[in-house]
Amino acid sequence: HTFLDASCGKYYNLNRIDCIYIWFVSIQEAISVPWKDLSKKTTKLYYAMRVLESYESSEGRDPGETSLSDLPAVLALRKDMCDRMSLDESRIPTSLLERLLAAGKKEHPPVCAILGGILGQEVIKSISCKGDPIKNFFYYDAADGKGAMEDIPPTPED
């Protein structure tokens, strides 16, 4: 079997079954990285989802149990979190928070279909040993039709 290693652009022949191990940081390690240490290219959805997750947790709510009436409290939390994490508030647009709050637990069949396709693609990549898997996070913004992968490495230990 011949495959292309996308990371270096070289073709390799496999005459036997080789096990390749890939390690990823845990979700807890990924979300504990301080925002100031993240890449400037980190998607705004990452920050917005973290603010909403924190809000739902502090209010004792299940994920998605939000509405537009929660916006003032969420905006206050956004300000507090951005101050603590040394991030400019403009990185988390109010319009994005409004959209996420309004969506709540609603199902969006077209988005479900897209995410199902992405998941299927990941299974095929895993089975065929072709292509790098998604690391950490995948976000899909239905408003602009774009998906974003976030590979958040752990904070380097001092």
pLDDT digits (tens, 9 = 90+) for 28-80: 888 899 999 898 899 999 999 999 999 999 999 998 899 999 999 999 999 99
- CATH number assigned to the domain covering 2-150: 3.40.50.720
* Domain ranges across the chain: 2-150
Phi, psi of 51 (to 5 degrees): -65, -45
Single pTM value for the model? 0.77
Residue 140's CB is within 10 A of a number of other CB atoms, namely: 15
How many residues are there in the chain?
158
CA pair distance 113, 110, nearest whole angstrom: 5
- Highest-confidence range of 51-55, 109-113, 127-131, by mean pLDDT? 51-55
Consecutive H or E run containing 3 = strand 2-5
